[in-house]
Amino acid sequence: MPDALTATDDVHHVDDSALRAFFGYRMKRSFNVIQADLALALKPFELRMLTFTALTLVVSNPGLRQSQLAEAMDVERPNLVTIVEELVRRDLISKERVPTDRRAYSLQATRQGRMLCAEATMAVTAHEEALLGGLGEEIRAGAIEAMNRIEQGRQRD
Amino acid sequence: MPDALTATDDVHHVDDSALRAFFGYRMKRSFNVIQADLALALKPFELRMLTFTALTLVVSNPGLRQSQLAEAMDVERPNLVTIVEELVRRDLISKERVPTDRRAYSLQATRQGRMLCAEATMAVTAHEEALLGGLGEEIRAGAIEAMNRIEQGRQRD
DNA sequence: TATTGTTATACTCTATAACTATA
DNA sequence: TATAGTTATAGAGTATAACAATA
């Protein structure tokens, strides 16, 4: 029990108002909640956010190359290697050499991969609906719009 | 230039619409942008997000104990040790034994720590204003409201 | 027995340089 | 020479178990 203090010291709960003035602070805290919930939703499928993201992109884009996948995921190429390895090892995707460019690999989801992706997608959708369903349409739309603009505002410099 | 491909293969840009259906995916991407900008704003002060957060909380809550700081930051106690160490080493905060409980340490910001915190706060504020200023008041308010509710786990409407 | 701060450890995510085999 | 994928490596951030000192 963390509220067991009594006499000598004030238990005034910590003042973080100075931090709450920052968008980034609030976002980190709420992102932690979202991510924990997402991890929970993906756990039954033995997927992490990164492997789920990669699998979904390969399912949606048959024949995708690793370099394209890395760029789409905003991940450095070396960090994608183990992710792809894991998905191949579990027979969720397959790698084939591209005939016209033997340096490259073309990624395809297997039938098993497409099925797992569909199931995981439903689970994640249900989890997010449970977590965000009570938000209200206009609040949710505002949040999504804000996130879109923030993400797109990155390119200028 | 990533659009240098021509004849043989389609360069159809990757379809991530299946992922964009997820709040968590959008949030991760936009959080990455926010965090990168925050790191840039804090770099001149040699602060990271975690050290800035800890410093600000100690400034706002003189006498705070490490366990309280850890709880406020949503960080496990062992992971706070190096953060506090770094701030103490740089003479931004000080640790004193609590007389009434000699297990605990009481954290205080030094004058130097308060000054650096104030400067860093201004820099972060300016950075966020530059990054988010074009959002529009109602969109921004919607995003903040959404993040607040997500963090609190509230589904009320 | 429980708690504060600490050590040790491990796992995930991320970032960079350098290698290989192709082009 | 440049690119695709890989290896090796290093740094953050995070999580748990176990310990010493103290309550």
For B104-123, what is each residue's pLDDT tens digit?
999 999 999 999 999 999 99
Residue B115 CA to residue B120 CA, distance in Å, equals 9
Size of interface A-B (CB pairs under 8 A): 199
In B11-70, the residues whose Cβ lies within 8 Å of chain A are 12, 14-19, 21-38, 49, 53, 56-57, 59-61, 64, 68-69
Q: Rounded to an integer, what distance in angstroms lies between the CA atom of residue A151 and that of residue A30?
A: 17
Q: What is the pLDDT of residue B5?
A: 35
Nearest nucleotide, C1' to the C-alpha of A78? D6
pLDDT in tens, A97-115: 999 999 999 999 999 999 9
Burial class (CB in 10 A: 0-12, 13-18, 19+), A139: buried
pLDDT of residue B109: 98
A-chain residues within 8 Å CB-CB of B142? 138-143, 145-146
pTM of the predicted protein model: 0.90
- The predicted pLDDT at position B137 comes to 86
| C-alpha to C-alpha distance for B109 and B90, rounded to whole angstroms | 11
The torsion angles phi and psi of A108, rounded to 5 degrees, stand at -130, 140
Residue B35: closest CA among A20, A26, A146: A26
pLDDT band at A154 (very low <50, low <70, confident <90, very high): low
CB B42 within 8 A of CB B125: no
Query: For each successive 10 residues of chain B (157 residues), what is the average pLDDT?
Result: 37 88 96 96 98 98 97 98 98 97 97 98 96 88 92 57
Residues of B whose CB is below 8 A from A31: 27-28, 31
What rounded mean pLDDT belongs to chain A? 90
